[in-house]
Amino acid sequence: MTIDTSKSTAILLIHCPDQQGLLALVTEFINTNNGNILYLDQHVDREEKLFYMRVEWDLANFNIPKNKIADYFATLIGQKNQMTFELHFSEEKPRMAIFVSKMSHCLFDLLARYTSGEWNVEIPVIISNHPDMADVARRFDIEYHVFPVTKDNKEELEAQEIALMEKHKIDFIVLARYMQIISDEFITHFPNRIINIHHSFLPAFVGAKPYHAAYKRGVKIIGATSHYVTTELDAGPIIKQEVAHVSHKDMVDDLIAKGRDLEKIVLSKAVNKHIERKILVYNNRTVVFS
Amino acid sequence: MTIDTSKSTAILLIHCPDQQGLLALVTEFINTNNGNILYLDQHVDREEKLFYMRVEWDLANFNIPKNKIADYFATLIGQKNQMTFELHFSEEKPRMAIFVSKMSHCLFDLLARYTSGEWNVEIPVIISNHPDMADVARRFDIEYHVFPVTKDNKEELEAQEIALMEKHKIDFIVLARYMQIISDEFITHFPNRIINIHHSFLPAFVGAKPYHAAYKRGVKIIGATSHYVTTELDAGPIIKQEVAHVSHKDMVDDLIAKGRDLEKIVLSKAVNKHIERKILVYNNRTVVFS
Amino acid sequence: MTIDTSKSTAILLIHCPDQQGLLALVTEFINTNNGNILYLDQHVDREEKLFYMRVEWDLANFNIPKNKIADYFATLIGQKNQMTFELHFSEEKPRMAIFVSKMSHCLFDLLARYTSGEWNVEIPVIISNHPDMADVARRFDIEYHVFPVTKDNKEELEAQEIALMEKHKIDFIVLARYMQIISDEFITHFPNRIINIHHSFLPAFVGAKPYHAAYKRGVKIIGATSHYVTTELDAGPIIKQEVAHVSHKDMVDDLIAKGRDLEKIVLSKAVNKHIERKILVYNNRTVVFS
Amino acid sequence: MTIDTSKSTAILLIHCPDQQGLLALVTEFINTNNGNILYLDQHVDREEKLFYMRVEWDLANFNIPKNKIADYFATLIGQKNQMTFELHFSEEKPRMAIFVSKMSHCLFDLLARYTSGEWNVEIPVIISNHPDMADVARRFDIEYHVFPVTKDNKEELEAQEIALMEKHKIDFIVLARYMQIISDEFITHFPNRIINIHHSFLPAFVGAKPYHAAYKRGVKIIGATSHYVTTELDAGPIIKQEVAHVSHKDMVDDLIAKGRDLEKIVLSKAVNKHIERKILVYNNRTVVFS
């Protein structure tokens, strides 16, 4: 279900060790205080003995003021149950930055969804290591900054990028085919808040030209994976994956073209889930609520 | 298109370096000698400059006797164009052996298709390293032999297996979740004639318990790959791949159950293509005609 | 999650008008009486204002005796909240009958899963309007009865079939490509307990030869739909749907072959969900829990 | 394979009654005159006894001048074999007009692909019955014309639209969610040259609000179909179809959002095939070459 932006709602994302009665505790907290639950989904991982929950409720008649909900919830329920939780409000539009290099396919799809009002998000700034996409940014009236990052200047330029993120109060970053490895230092500023997209293959190929490798190997399926960026390269929590069938008729160029379509679809689906506050991360895995 | 078993047909599978006029040469050979082409598919790999072709024609009025077609074709066309080719006849049912261990899902699907007459194949024998599937073989009235292969007796027992294959005039072998590594010696007896099925993941996992690894990693897609067995483990030419979507709700058992369904579907599709003589292998890749 | 048959569990399926606190009420009932919840999924249909829930709990330390749970639940919670509910126990294997005509593909797949222990079900009897599948039934050691139903004898033979269902204490019926229209009288004996499979197309085709119509129309996708049988032909609640891509290369025979594979997959998935008590029906729609 | 725009090539699309030797005839014509075949695909519909072919060759050393190829081919081969054929040249970029109403999702995707150079096409003009999309057209620097078509003025305004198409030398039209029924008169100006996209369901729903109907029916799959427009509403030759899985958790809004994503993907894939001259239409069906 999409977030109903016509209402003022609160969204609570929780995870903690599983035990009896957790769900009842949380729903009672909301019901008792006159909150009308609009959406509830929970998951218990029986193997890891963990409890995950997402609940969204209407604040119209809720007894606890918005700015005190987190405090009350932590005191009354969270702490004694070792809960880690996030609280969001539908009225607070998340602010997103896009990092891009020279390829436009993901960028266009993100901006089209943004411009058409499909997403409850603000995109104040686009960052690139190349000038090529400036024209696309201009078409959508969004600030575009070029930081020509190299090994040597990376520390300095990333510091400037972080300052720019802070100036624009950026909540999360989307790497829309950004062909630059981000430093661990930068990543730790945005834990589980940088979304990346990369191609995936069955079997996997390492190295510089994966589509060429996939062609050589004669694969029948290609894929794309969207994940949060962690300091281990391309090994962060997976958000979304999709595949497409290919055949011997597909030359390297065809694989790349089909990969491009996959990348933009998968990245936009992952961003959508992030904007709707439907992703919980724990133990390098995601729970993605529907 | 399925093979029309009501007609006596010839099937020619060709690959060779590409050059102008190859297709015309082959079709002319058939047309001139009064063969009616029922199916033709060809593929030119522009990157590798290779020509692949599959053609099937009705032998009813064909001027060249069946037993001389290969000879004539080689002399008149094949040799001077450096063609590698296979010639098959629809009347010659391929003979298939199944190797199985303890799991029945692939075995049942293969036998059900065989018994219902879906496939133009003979299955005279099932081989296993365990007695567990004897009852299934009995239900379908097929010989079942147990060879309890271990590291120590592998050479000896594989020699017995090969003798059994020869006795039954086996053309190709299907590993229906056969959990034993086959020796290079055995494999070289059946080049591109042993079909295997294994699970595949995005990203790939190595080691003993891949479904557990996939669960730990929080993958959103699982897959299965069918391929010809070569002496490099699980790296032979890929025939068919399929995937299924999974989520955080799927525990290890669920992944295994979904994987099982994928495995049986993918293996049967690969076997079907092999029986219909629609697979060409070259450079460790397949061309799978439709 | 598959049902854990190693434990003695209770499964409660509930639907009722939505209101605040329903989930807390039910989970409290279980927790208070010392039941350990193993699985919980709920759904609120905001458009229809309906609440759906499936909960499964371990009976090991549950305070209320098995044979009194339904009574207690109805009295304490169900009635005052206008709940319709079903209570099942994992120890009670549902008993399933298969109706089949001349095609074996679905039948084999159902029996293979049953025989391999994949499903928590009993299949004591197979019924057909033709003798053709007797041999398959024999292979799996299951009773096979032929009722050569025609328009004229339908009333009489269906009465015999119902008697046979009662004798075998059949809980639900699976129509595995049973090519006979079942009377309204028969259907009302098994409300939402007869599962059917039929092909589906985009767009839909009416009439006797849908695959021929699909070929003529040049469709690029074919599908299969599994649903509960109601007195309105092929319009009952949908359980599961799948599709396959086709092209101009697929002749009518190829469409039928691909349709056959879809039918068996979709039917088995629907039957699996039914056996696991994961389907709730209301307003001619299903909620299928994962 | 994508068209290699770095070369000057000719593309021939042929269909005719099937007979022996057609393929050899055509390839000989090209080879004899020193044309290097880059791509060849053919299909024989055995049920309808029809031959379809697409061949593309390099014109670099071709003996026949471009402007005489059609004439020579018709005289030497086409007429005596009752061939219907189209001849295209890679250097002639097809000119495309977009018709749109108020929804931007398909429009953005088409324009992003155009602007990024993904397609060998010119898009000089966008037409709408509403002013809403003028801003999108402006972002991409494309002429935008509003024709507020109603029942009463349709004849007159469509005449103006046709004049505009002629002025811009438009080859084909893409209806990117254009919510106006086009007159038969207009359609006959562009036979198999107007591409439409519409949602599709299993089963199909007729009437004004199909997503509401699909929700009520509890469907598990929704789809989109792209087709050429004929005078029979939504019954023209199908080019491409795709589906997405949905569940009881999807409210009407979710179905619409998922449908939107399908529509834009399917429409762009169909447009791509048209631009690459890979679609042959005959008997209200398409052959779509890969």
Q: Give C150→chain B minimum CA distance, Å.
A: 26
Contacts 24+ apart (CB under 8 A), A185-191: A185/A155, A185/A158, A186/A158, A186/A161, A186/A162, A187/A229, A187/A230, A187/A231, A188/A231, A189/A162, A189/A165, A190/A165, A190/A229
Tokens of C86: 């079903």
Whether the Cβ atoms of residue D225 and residue D236 lie closer than 8 Å to each other = no
Query: Which residue in B4, B184, B234, B253 is the catalytic one?
Result: B234
Q: Amino acid letter at B237?
A: P
Residue B246 to residue D214: CA distance in whole angstroms: 25
Q: Is C104 on the interface with B (CB under 8 A)?
A: yes
- Please give the residue of chain D at the shortest CA–CA distance from A254: D1
Q: What residues are paired with B12 via a beta bridge?
A: B55, B87
pLDDT tens-digit map of B238-283: 999 999 999 999 999 999 999 999 999 999 999 999 999 999 999 8
Alpha carbon distance A177, A268 (integer Å): 12
How far is residue B262 from each of residues A219, B38, B86, B180, C246, measured CA to CA in Å? 17, 32, 31, 20, 19
Where in the sequence numbering do the catalytic residues of C fall? 234
Question: Are residues A36 and A137 both part of a single domain?
Answer: no
For residues C37 and C162, state if they share a domain: no
**Is pLDDT of A2 > 60?**
no
Inter-CA distances, B87 with A189, B9, B51, B62, Å: 64, 11, 17, 15
Please give the average per-residue pLDDT across B72-101, as a whole number: 97
pLDDT digits (tens, 9 = 90+) for B259-271: 999 999 999 999 9
Q: Which of C220, C284, C286, C287 has the highest number of chain D CBs within 10 A, making it the mutation to test binding with D?
A: C220
What is the per-residue pLDDT for B1?
42
Tell me what pLDDT residue D39 has.
86
At which residue do the structure tokens 């696991």 appear?
Answer: C276
CA distance to B181, D1, D165, per residue, from D96 (Å): 58, 22, 9
Does ipTM surpass 0.85 in this model? yes
**Across residues C167-175, what is the average pLDDT?**
98
Q: B250 to chain C, minimum CA–CA distance in Å? A: 6
Residue C4: what pLDDT?
Answer: 53
Over residues C234-282, the pLDDT tens digits come to 889 999 999 999 999 999 999 999 999 999 999 999 999 999 999 999 9
pTM of the model: 0.94
Residues of A in contact with B43 (CB under 8 A): 248-249
CATH number for the domain that contains residue C251: 3.40.50.170
Contacts of D44 in chain B (CB under 8 A): 37, 39-40
Give the integer Cα–Cα distance in Å for C86 and C13: 5
* All residues at 6 or more sequence positions from B232 whose CB lies less than 8 Å from its CB, including other chains: none
Query: Average pLDDT, whole number, for chain C?
Result: 93
User: Using the beta-carbon criterion (under 8 Å), do A253 and D109 form an inter-chain contact?
Assistant: no
Determine the pLDDT at residue B271.
98
C window 14-53, beta carbon within 8 A of D: 43, 45-47, 52
Assess if residue C44 is contained within a domain: yes
Per-residue confidence (pLDDT) for residue B261, from 0 to 100? 95
Residue A175 has pLDDT above 80, yes or no: yes
Residues D108 and D190 in one domain: yes
CA distance B76 to A204: 44
Among B147-156, C221-230, D19-28, D270-279, which is the least confidently predicted range? D19-28
Do C270 and C190 fall into the same domain?
yes
A223 CB near a chain B CB, below 8 Å? yes
- The alpha-carbon gap from B216 to the nearest alpha carbon of chain A, in Å, equals 7
Which chain A residue shows the shortest CA-CA distance from B246? Answer: A241
Q: Please, what is the Cα angle at C198 between C193 and C204, to 5 degrees?
A: 130
Token pair in block for residue C145: 């009865």
Residue contact A257–D116, C-beta within 8 A: no
Q: Helix B252-275 and helix C252-275: axis angle, to 10°?
A: 160
Domain presence at residue B4: no
Lowest mean pLDDT among A25-29, A231-235, B128-132: A231-235
**The pLDDT of residue B5 is above 90:** no
pLDDT surpassing 90 at residue C23: no
As a whole number of angstroms, the distance between CA C279 and CA C54 comes to: 9
**Subunit partners of chain B (3 or more CB pairs within 8 A):** A, C, D
A283 vs A207: CA distance, rounded Å: 27
- Across the interface, which of B1, B136, B254 has its CB nearest the CB of C254? B1
**Same domain, residue pair A125 and A215:** yes
What is the number of structural domains in chain A? 2
Query: Rounded to an integer, what distance in angstroms lies between the CA atom of residue A181 and that of residue A99?
Result: 12
Query: Which residues contact residue C165 at a Cβ distance below 8 angstroms, ignoring those fewer than 6 apart?
Result: C97, C173, C189, C190
Contact A20 C28 (CB under 8 A): no
CB contact under 8 A, C112 and B116: no
pLDDT digits (tens, 9 = 90+) for D74-113: 999 999 999 999 999 999 999 999 999 999 999 999 999 9
Q: Would residue B18 count as lying in a domain?
A: yes
Contact C2/B at CB under 8 A = yes
Q: Per-residue confidence at C206, pLDDT binned at 50, 70, 90?
A: low
Residue D282 resides in a domain: yes
**Average pLDDT for C137-152:** 96
C partners (3+ CB pairs within 8 A) are: A, B, D
Residue of chain C whose alpha carbon sits nearest to that of D236: C217
Assess B238–A contact: CB distance below 8 Å, yes or no.
Answer: yes
* Neighbouring residues of C178: CB distance < 8 A, sequence distance ≥ 6: C99, C100, C101, C128, C129, C196
- Give A58-98 pLDDT, tens digit per residue: 999 999 999 999 999 999 999 999 999 999 999 999 999 99
**Residue C208 has what pLDDT?**
74
Average the pLDDT over each of A73-82, A178-187, B30-39 and give the range with the smallest value. Answer: B30-39
Nearest-Cα distance to chain B for D128, in Å, is 39
User: Does residue B3 lie within any of the structural domains?
Assistant: no
Nearest to B203 among A46, A204, A249 (CB): A204
Contact B24 D31 (CB under 8 A): yes
* The three-state (H, E, C) secondary structure of C22-69, written as one string: HHHHHHHHHHHCCCEEEEEEEEEECCCCEEEEEEEEECCCCCCCHHHH
Residue C1 has pLDDT above 50, yes or no: no
With a cut of 50, say whether residue A1 has pLDDT above it: no
Residues D169 and D223 grouped into a single domain: yes
Residue A43 within any structural domain of the chain: yes
Give yes or no for residue B3 having a pLDDT over 70.
no
Report the pLDDT value the prediction gives residue D4, as an integer from 0 to 100.
Answer: 53
CA dist., res. B38 & res. B30, Å (int): 11
Instruction: Out of D89, D123, D155, pick the residue that ends a domain.
Output: D89
Domain boundary among D89, D114, D136: D89
The distance of C16 to chain D (nearest Cα, Å) reads 16
Nearest to C108 among B1, B116, B251 (CB): B116
Whether residue A202 has pLDDT greater than 50: yes
* Best residue of A44, A220, A243, A249 to probe chain B, by most B CBs closer than 10 Å: A220
Q: Which residues on chain A are in Cβ contact (under 8 Å) with D104?
A: 112, 115-116
Is the previous residue joined to C124 through a cis bond, with omega within 30 degrees of 0? no
Of A89, A112, A143, which marks where a domain is finished? A89
D237 has a chain C CB within 8 A of its CB: yes
Judge whether D232 lies within some domain: yes
Which CATH number covers residue C48? 3.30.70.260
Distance from CA of C89 to the nearest CA of D (A): 25
C29 with C118, same domain: the answer is: no
pLDDT given for residue D5 in this prediction: 59
Residues B251 and B122 in one domain: yes
Looking at the structure, tell me whether residues A220 and A280 fall in a common domain: yes
| Full residue range of the structural domain in which residue D246 is found | 95-288
Q: What is the mean pLDDT of residues D212-232?
A: 92
Sheet holding C36-45, edge to edge: C36-45, C50-58, C9-17, C84-89
Is a pLDDT exceeding 80 seen at residue D219?
Answer: yes
Alpha helices in chain B (DSSP H): 22-32, 66-73, 105-115, 134-139, 154-167, 184-189, 210-217, 252-275
Average pLDDT on D60-75 reads 97
- How do beta strands B95-100 and B122-128 pair? parallel
Does residue B140 sit in the same domain as residue B118? yes
Are A164 and A280 in a shared domain?
yes
Say how far apart CA D243 and CA D224 lie, in whole Å: 6
User: A: neighbours with 3+ CB pairs under 8 Å?
Assistant: B, C, D
Whether residue C261 lies within 8 A of chain B, CB to CB, comes out as: yes
Chain B residues close to A234, C-beta within 8 Å: 203
Closest CA to D48 of D255, D284, D288: D284
Whether residue B204 has pLDDT greater than 80? no
Of the pLDDT bands very low, low, confident and very high (cuts 50, 70, 90), residue C213 is confident
pLDDT band at A19 (very low <50, low <70, confident <90, very high): confident
Helix (H, G, I), strand (E, B) or coil at B212: helix
Cα A260 to Cα A207, A222, A256, B23, D269: the distances in Å are 18, 11, 6, 34, 13
Predicted local distance difference test score (pLDDT) of residue D1: 42
Q: Which of C2, C109, C253 sits opposite B2 (nearest CB)?
A: C253
CB contact under 8 A, C248 and D288: yes
- Which of D261, D271, D278 should be substituted to probe chain A, the one whose Cβ sees the most A Cβ atoms within 10 Å? D261
Q: Residue B280 is encoded by which pair of tokens?
A: 């060409």
Instruction: Return the residue of B nearest to D27 by Cα.
Output: B24
Neighbouring chains of D at 3+ CB pairs under 8 Å are A, B, C
Q: How does C140-173 read in b/e, with b if 16+ C-beta sit within 10 Å?
A: bebebeebebeeeebeebbeebeebbeebebbbb
Q: Which of B116, B118, B254 lies at the smallest CB-CB distance from C2?
A: B254
Q: How far apart are CA B90 and CA B12, in angstroms?
A: 11
D42/B40 touch (CB, cutoff 8 Å), yes or no: yes
Q: How far apart are CA B275 and CA B269, in angstroms?
A: 10
Q: Does B1 touch chain C (CB under 8 A)?
A: yes
pLDDT over 90, % of chain C:
80
**Chain B interface, mutation test: which of C110, C248, C261, C288, most B Cβ atoms within 10 Å?**
C261
Pair (C149, C213) in one structural domain = yes
Cis amide leading into C203 (omega within 30): yes
Say what the pLDDT of residue A201 is. Answer: 77
Q: Which residue has the higher pLDDT, C211 or C133?
A: C133
D15 found inside a domain: yes
D126: pLDDT confidence band, cut at 50, 70 and 90? very high
